[in-house]
């Protein structure tokens, strides 16, 4: 398998940040991936795995191999009374995978419609939207150890999922490439429509007993309205996680801001990070080419020509503004590379 050299990554990340990889390869088959990892081991090269580049910030060049899985394929490999077991290769675009499943009446992914990126990246941060996360649907996955090429099967429990978290962001960070993922999808749909935006969208459309396809259509319509398409305005989605705070912290904030948006959690309350950023005066505000999006302050956008350092400077300014107003530390969601 051929390595491309000094490869420009600007079109491979949705923030459109200029960065170069010393080597780049996009294996299209399992065999290509295996032989590539053998070469990597032999040459002792550092490896970065890249999916669709929709959750990364490139703040410098990468002096190793950027490996972008391009294996494709979706298949139903088993079933129980209530579920289909569906396997997809890492290089499948996530939004296409969701549509493929819906078209075959394999249910459960409708709330995750239109999330950019790849199937292989979906478990990394346990992608979630509108009350559904990958942890609710994932059965198991197959990954290869980058250092040895050895294949390892991960059960659901092995993935150690949390809120926008998994073992692949913690103890096993940068250790594995996810090659394929298996999902348990419902034969009879169990729909989740509690989020206010979904309820409103269905109401506007006059739908009170929605089908899974109608929920997906509603989600796509909401997201298209609210979020900038990376094809039009460069961004990496939500730039910060919603912070979970204790009841005492929530009460203190509530005493000063009675309209704070908070959702109860087992260990306190989840605050809407977008609301905190907006209150701190950052909605629609920019420094140079980077700003907080005018319709959703949680999304940082590159209006053109930004570097990774520009993005990090705005993110840091927002973190400081939120900390000084609310005493809450926002954690960045995308992975920062190159610093």
Q: Which residues are catalytic?
A: 164, 238, 333
Contact set for ligand NAP, span 194-213 (CB under 6 A): 194-197
Q: What is the number of alpha carbons within 13 Å of residue 321 lying toward its C-beta?
A: 19
What minimum distance in Å lies between the beta carbon of 296 and ligand NAP?
A: 5
Q: Is 237 in the site for ligand FAD (CB under 6 A)?
A: yes
Rg (CA), the chain: 20
Residue 174 or 197 having the CB closest to ligand NAP: 197
- In the bound complex, what is the minimum distance in angstroms from residue 199's beta carbon to ligand NAP? 9
Residue 119 binds ligand NAP, judged by CB under 6 A: no
Residue 28 binds to ligand NAP (criterion: CB under 6 A): no
Residue 53 interacts with ligand FAD (CB under 6 A)? Answer: yes
Contact between 226 and ligand NAP (CB under 6 A)? Answer: yes
Residue 194 interacting partner from ligand NAP, ligand FAD, none (CB closer than 5 to 8 Å by kind): ligand NAP
CA 278 from centroid of its chain's CA atoms: 22
Residue 133 CB contacts under 8 Å (≥ 6 apart), including other chains = 126, 127, 161
- For residue 276, the number of C-alpha atoms closer than 13 Å in the C-beta half-sphere is 29
183 beta partners = 86, 138
In order of 97, 131, 152, 168, 226, the CA distances from 149 in angstroms are 26, 36, 9, 16, 41
Question: Residue from 135, 217, 242, 307 that binds ligand NAP (CB under 6 A)?
Answer: 242
Sole binder of ligand FAD in the list 36, 132, 178, 244 (CB under 6 A) = 178
Residues 253, 152: Cα–Cα separation, whole Å? 46
238 binds ligand NAP (CB under 6 A): yes
For ligand NAP, the binding residues (CB under 6 A) are 128-131, 194-197, 226-227, 237-238, 242, 263, 272, 274, 296, 298, 333
For ligand FAD, the binding residues (CB under 6 A) are 14, 48-56, 69, 90, 115-118, 120-122, 124-125, 127-129, 177-178, 227, 230, 235-237, 335
């Amino acid at each position: 398998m051929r390595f491309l050299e000094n490869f420009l990554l600007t079109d491979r990340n949705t923030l459109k940040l200029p960065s170069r990889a010393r080597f780049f390869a996009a294996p299209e088959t399992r065999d290509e991936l295996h032989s590539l990892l053998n070469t990597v081991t032999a040459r002792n090269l550092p490896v970065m795995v890249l999916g669709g580049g929709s959750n990364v910030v490139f703040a410098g060049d990468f002096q190793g191999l950027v490996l972008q899985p391009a294996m494709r394929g979706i298949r139903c490999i088993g079933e129980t009374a209530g579920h289909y077991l569906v396997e997809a290769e890492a290089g499948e675009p996530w939004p296409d995978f969701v549509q493929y499943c819906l078209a075959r009446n394999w249910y459960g992914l409708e709330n995750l419609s239109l999330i950019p990126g790849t199937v292989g990246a979906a478990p990394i941060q346990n992608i979630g939207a509108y009350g559904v996360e990958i942890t609710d649907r994932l059965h198991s996955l197959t990954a290869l150890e980058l250092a040895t090429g050895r294949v390892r099967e991960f059960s659901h429990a092995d993935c150690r999922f949390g809120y926008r978290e998994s073992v692949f962001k913690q103890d096993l960070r940068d250790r594995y490439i996810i090659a394929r993922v298996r999902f348990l999808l419902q034969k009879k749909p169990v729909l989740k429509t509690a989020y206010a935006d979904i309820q409103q969208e269905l109401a506007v459309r006059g739908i009170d007993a929605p089908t899974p396809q109608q929920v997906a259509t509603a989600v796509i319509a909401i997201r298209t309205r609210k979020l900038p398409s990376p094809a039009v305005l460069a961004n990496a989605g939500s730039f910060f996680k919603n912070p979970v705070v204790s009841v005492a912290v929530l009460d203190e904030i509530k005493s000063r801001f009675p309209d704070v948006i908070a959702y109860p959690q087992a260990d306190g309350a989840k605050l809407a990070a977008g609301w905190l950023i907006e209150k701190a005066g950052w909605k629609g505000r920019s420094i140079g080419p980077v700003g907080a999006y005018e319709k959703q302050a949680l999304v940082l956008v590159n209006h053109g020509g930004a570097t990774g350092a520009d993005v990090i400077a705005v993110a840091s300014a927002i973190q400081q503004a939120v900390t000084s107003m609310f005493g809450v530390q926002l954690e960045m969601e995308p992975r920062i590379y190159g610093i």
